[in-house]
Amino acid sequence: MNRQLLLGAEAVAQGALDAGISGVYAYPGTPSTEITEYIQRSKAARAGGVRSSWSANEKTAYEAALGMSYAGKRSLVCMKHVGLNVAADAFINSAITGVNGGLVLAVADDPSMHSSQNEQDSRAYGRFAMVPVLEPASQQELYDTMFHAFALSEEVRLPVIVRMTTRLSHSRAGVEQRSPRPQNALKAEYAPERFVLMPHNARVQYRHLLDLQPKLEELSESSFLNRPAGGSGPIGVIAFGIGYNYAMEARAAHGIECRVLKIGQYPLPRRMVEELFAACSEVLVVEEGYPVYEELFRGYFGSPKVRGRMDGTLPRAGELTTDLLASALGVGLPETPAIPGIVANRPPELCKGCGHRDMFDAITVAIREHADHHVFSDIGCYTLGALPPYSAIHTCVDMGAAITMAKGAADAGLRPAVCVIGDSTFTHSGMTGLLDAVNDRSPVTVVIADNDTTAMTGGQQSSATGPKLVDICIGLGVDRAHIRHFVPLRKNLDEAVAILREEFAFEGVSVVIAQRDCIEKAAKEKRRAAAKGQ
């Protein structure tokens, strides 16, 4: 038996490669990043010419994947849950056009918000777009599911979502591989009646999507991802995704008598669900995420049979555990040792020697000279500047919002209107906001923290750094005289403060680039160079 130890994310990657993808498109985001990184490292992917470099954002990634599918080939597109908000326009409309080559969207949700600003549930997007959603429960199932997902996508000619959550994506297990399938041949067909979404076409395509729904439900009835998992008695558990793991673990550990129905493919297999509800007086709905299906089972007027996150049987927010499942099924848990009172929290922090530290020192000095010292910021390592001892940034909402929020505040009269954004976040969705500010002559100071990489997610290639960033800003119409630079080092503090002071005072758009390479990236490159030298 040839088993390979893979993270859930890596199982998705290997499964997609073996299912014959010709490309992966993605923007990094925890907990989805490792899918694309695995493909980038894969020798087989290189040999097969599978394209895999990073996209500027999730929307560009999704559209490129759709284009590859249009040309007849199989494509994978990966993102974290909030990335799907960025790609949503392309995603929802690709359900109307449909696909040619298999198109699979692997999306990784982050319940409990380990590395995210919310815990939105991507299954809701699947329902919204009316496309199949697959939600495997183990690393092996993730691998096997990729074959199924691409075949299903080509059978029903729709994009298919493979949804996973942090615990599965970032957990390793032994995975058995199958023999790989060849890539599809190039086969781009003219089908403007499907792909030109003018109203007269879109109405027909939408009708088609609606008409497909019974077939999708029927396919769920025979999916290997949906199955009763034994048990007896009046208590039923309908366990979605990795909710199944916790239900099975609790049932085995505590000898709980209950029936379990495992769900891993949507739309729901109606007959299986009806059978469970008919056989049980109470059904616990176990979802790793929002109570999407629990709400449906309850209906507006409620159902006395349904237990779950909405009636407090399980917590409304946060990820599930075996203990939560055991409690929900009536098991009294033994006392366990408490965390001693002296155990202080240890939050993450900016690395020692990181240039962001010196950048925040400079910004803090310069902005304290003003009565109002709000600093708008964004998503990346520099978000850690919100924590003590810096407490230097005061917003972090969504990718790119630093610039546009500063612009809106400037329009309202706030002076200075200062924002901090990283190089990768700037190219992800900061550039368009900067264009708004230029067009509106909004007095904002945009500090671009250019560390030459996408650092927070582990140092991926950034779309634009260094001189390319300057070119972009000039191209967007920022006055060259107000594109300034400093190197964030302690010895440059006075110079940095002077530059910031001048630009804060300027009644127009300025960009101040704080350029110093990420120390983690530099260390990694040094190690790599040393390894090559040996």
Partner 1 sequence: MQKNIILAGVGGQGILSIAAVIDWAALQEGLEIRQAEVHGMSQRGGAVQSHLRIADHELYADLIAFGTADLILSVEPLEALRYLPYLAPDGHVATALEPFVNIPDYPPMEGILAELARIGAPVLVPAAEIAREAGSARASNMVMLGAGAPFTGIAPDKLEAGIEALFGAKGREVVDSNIRAFRRGLELSTN
Other CB atoms within a 10 A radius of the CB of residue 477 amount to: 13
Q: Is 332 in the site for partner 1 (CB under 8 A)?
A: no
* Cβ(393)–Cβ(382) below 8 Å: yes
**Residue 167: closest CA among 121, 111, 124, 118:** 111
Taking contact as CB under 8 A, which single stretch among the options 276-284, 300-308, 337-345, 398-406 is the one that binds partner 1?
337-345
* Cβ(96)–Cβ(197) below 8 Å: yes
- For partner 1, the binding residue among 16, 39, 90, 168 (CB under 8 A) is 168
Other CB atoms within a 10 A radius of the CB of residue 312 amount to: 10
In the complex with partner 1, which residue's Cβ is closer, 183 or 457?
Answer: 457
Q: Is 14 in the site for partner 1 (CB under 8 A)?
A: no
- For partner 1, the binding residue among 351, 386, 487, 505 (CB under 8 A) is 351
Sequence-ordered list of residues with C-beta below 8 angstroms from that of 219, at least 6 positions apart, any chain: 132, 152, 155, 156, 265
**Residue 34: closest CA among 160, 147, 172:** 172
* Cβ(340)–Cβ(186) below 8 Å: no
In angstroms, what is the minimal distance from the CB of 503 to partner 1? 29
Q: Is 311 in the site for partner 1 (CB under 8 A)?
A: no
Q: What are φ and ψ of residue 105, in 5° steps?
A: -100, 110
Q: Is 217 in the site for partner 1 (CB under 8 A)?
A: no
In angstroms, what is the minimal distance from the CB of 49 to partner 1? 27
Give the per-residue contact string, 371-400, with partner 1 (x = CB under 8 A; - = no). ----------x--x----------------
* Cβ(13)–Cβ(42) below 8 Å: yes
Sequence-ordered list of residues with C-beta below 8 angstroms from that of 501, at least 6 positions apart, any chain: 366, 369
Distance CA 471, CA 308 (A): 54
- For partner 1, the binding residue among 49, 222, 336, 481 (CB under 8 A) is 336
In angstroms, what is the minimal distance from the CB of 312 to partner 1? 20
- For partner 1, the binding residue among 41, 46, 114, 207 (CB under 8 A) is 114
Q: Is 35 in the site for partner 1 (CB under 8 A)?
A: no
In the complex with partner 1, which residue's Cβ is closer, 34 or 63?
Answer: 34
In the complex with partner 1, which residue's Cβ is closer, 188 or 253?
Answer: 253
DSSP state of 51: B
Compute the half-sphere exposure of residue 356: CA atoms within 13 Å on the CB side of its CA: 33
Give the per-residue contact string, 452-471, with partner 1 (x = CB under 8 A; - = no). ----xxx-------------
Q: Is 353 in the site for partner 1 (CB under 8 A)?
A: no
- For partner 1, the binding residue among 15, 20, 23, 31 (CB under 8 A) is 31
* Cβ(260)–Cβ(228) below 8 Å: yes
Q: What are φ and ψ of residue 26, in 5° steps?
A: -165, 160
- For partner 1, the binding residue among 304, 340, 413, 467 (CB under 8 A) is 340
In three-state form (DSSP H/G/I as H, E/B as E, the rest C), the secondary structure along 434-479 is: HHHHHHCCCCEEEEEEECCCECCCCCECCCCCCHHHHHHHHHCCCC
In angstroms, what is the minimal distance from the CB of 256 to partner 1? 13
Q: Is 60 in the site for partner 1 (CB under 8 A)?
A: no
Angstrom distances, CA of residue 351 to CA of 384, 392, 453: 10, 16, 15
Q: Is 278 in the site for partner 1 (CB under 8 A)?
A: no
Q: Is 337 in the site for partner 1 (CB under 8 A)?
A: yes
Give the per-residue contact string, 221-260, with partner 1 (x = CB under 8 A; - = no). ---------------------x-xxx-xx--xx-------
Q: Is 16 in the site for partner 1 (CB under 8 A)?
A: no
Q: Is 176 in the site for partner 1 (CB under 8 A)?
A: no
Which strands form 510-515's sheet, in the order they lie side by side?
A: 375-376, 417-422, 444-450, 510-515, 483-486
In the complex with partner 1, which residue's Cβ is closer, 173 or 493?
Answer: 173
Segment holding 77, helix H or strand E: strand 74-80
Taking contact as CB under 8 A, which single stretch among the options 83-91, 93-101, 284-292, 317-325 is the one that binds partner 1?
317-325
- For partner 1, the binding residue among 198, 345, 413, 533 (CB under 8 A) is 345
Which residues bind to partner 1, rule: CB under 8 A? 1, 3, 5, 30-31, 33-34, 114-115, 167-168, 170-174, 242, 244-246, 248-249, 252-253, 321-323, 326, 333-334, 336-340, 342-351, 381, 384, 456-458, 534
